[in-house]
Structure 1
Amino acid sequence: MAREFEEKIVLGSCEELAAVEERLRELGATLEAEVYEEDTYYQHPCRDFAETDEALRLRVARGRVELTYKGPKRVVEGAKEREEYTVTVDSGAAMARILEKLGFKPVATVRKRRRYYSLPGLAVVSLDEVEGLGCFVEIEYRGSDPSKAVDTVKAIESRLGLESKPKTVKSYLELLLEKYAGGASRPGGFRAH
């Protein structure tokens, strides 16, 4: 079973990304990619993913298309862990059509610019600029020993000087849906279907 363990840190402003990026370089992190990601989330035809805390996402980035299922979250010391399965598909349009033919409905599309930094054998740190939400840092454990996930993520958070920043276990989709449920105007980067 594939597992994801990550911590999402909320930055007060996008200007803070430069300092985090500098600290990553000092730690010897390598910039793996800088991408624009477009994530469309789907609702199951027979159960409410908001209630079951699951997600089905179709991601388009760098000419690659991935379909990902995410199971319910388990919160561990302020970070989230969940089951996750991803497959690469040839066509985003064809996959969207298949999902819709099976009764899945698109809920919303989230757009973000992301810079992936790798700390080999430890973690991937993503610097995210999410349209309509602001900027975040995600630290995702990539080591081989799951029992070290919490300690590794917390150590990286501390070395990046982010331990006093607020954290969230909510997905970008959840944060955007909450923000715009109150009637705020939606930016071009967020589209509820």
Structure 2
Amino acid sequence: MQYVEVEKKFALPNPEALKAKLDALGAKPSEPTRQIDQYYNAPHRDFLAPQAISEWLRIRTESRGASINYKRWHPIKALVKTHADEYESGVADVEAVRRLLEALDFRPLITVDKTREAWTLPDIEIVFDHVAGAGHFVEFEFKGDATGVEDASTRLQQFIASLDMELGEPINRGYPHILLGRQH
């Protein structure tokens, strides 16, 4: 199980051009899925308090089931993050988990409603997201074997450069940041 995530995200003005390029490379798309992500704030520390938000707790529901996820981005105090520790597990009873969190004084912060389509190549997953209220985005995530975060980041950057495409503005924040109006 991989517990470190290395990804790059961009606003995407023209998803179809990138999809055509990926298709030419032999990537295959998954069926699009709608994901509803409910983000929570912790009672023991305010995830929104620091200028550079470095952690989130999320419950995701979608047609294939539900999951709970915690991410802690690094470097913790940096405005631009390089990677995240990520812990995720399936949830059999999502309503029980919601009630459990609320009983422990975790409070809902924001809901992200998105449609996601994943494309896969060896070592790289490319995810197209349409986020209600925010627009179109693409995330590139390194999924291969690497000697560390720096190696994975370099290889991910090389892949993105090899596409030779205008992707739009790099996004160094998550969808909850965007919907909450947070810059970092």
Q: Secondary structure at the match of 1:46?
A: coil
Query: What aligned pairs does 1:104-115 form with structure 2 within 5 A after superposition?
Result: 104-115=106-117
Q: Which of residues 35, 46, 50 is equivalent to 2:33?
A: 35
- Identify the structure with the greater helix proportion: 1
2:178 alignment partner in structure 1: 175
The question of whether the paired residues in 2 share the 8 Å contact of 1:112 and 1:131 is answered with: yes
Question: Aligned letter for 2:86?
Answer: E
Question: TM-score when scaled to structure 1?
Answer: 0.83
Which of 37, 45, 48 aligns to 1:47? It is 45
TM-score when normalising by structure 2: 0.86
Q: Which AA in structure 2 matches 1:118?
A: T
Matches within 5 A, 1:109-124: 109-120=111-122, 122-124=123-125
Partner of 1:136: 137
Please tell me the residue identity of whatever aligns with 1:42.
Y
Per the alignment, residue 4 of structure 2 pairs with: 3
Corresponding position: 1:63 with 2:61: no
For residues 20-61 of structure 1, give each alpha carbon's deviation from its aligned partner in whole angstroms, at most 9, with x where no partner exists. Answer: 110111111121331111000000011011226210000012
Task: Give the Å deviation of 1:79.
Answer: 6.5
How far does the alpha carbon of each residue in 1:66-104 deviate from its partner, in whole angstroms, 9 at most, with x for none? 10000133399x763010000111021111011101110
In 2, the alpha carbon distance for the partners of 1:117 and 1:164 equals 16
State the match for 1:21 in structure 2: 19
For 1:157, which of 156, 160, 175 is the aligned residue? 160
Structure 2 unaligned segments of length 5 or more: list them. Answer: none
Query: 2:21 aligns to what SS in structure 1?
Result: helix
Identical pairs, percent: 30
CA RMSD of aligned residues (A): 2.1
Greater Cα shift, 109-118 or 158-167: 158-167
**1:106-136 deviation per Cα after TM superposition (whole angstroms, max 9, x unaligned):** 101001111000012x111001111000101
d(CA) in 1 for partners of 2:99 and 2:16? 40
Contact 1:8/1:79 (<8 A) preserved: no
Tell me if structure 1 keeps the 8 A contact 2:54–2:72.
Answer: yes
Contact 2:10 2:167 in 1 (8 A): no
Give 4+ residue runs of structure 1 displaced > 4 Å after superposition.
Answer: none
| Conserved? CA contact 1:68–1:84, under 8 Å | yes
Separation (CA, whole Å) in 2 of partners of 1:3 and 1:29 = 23
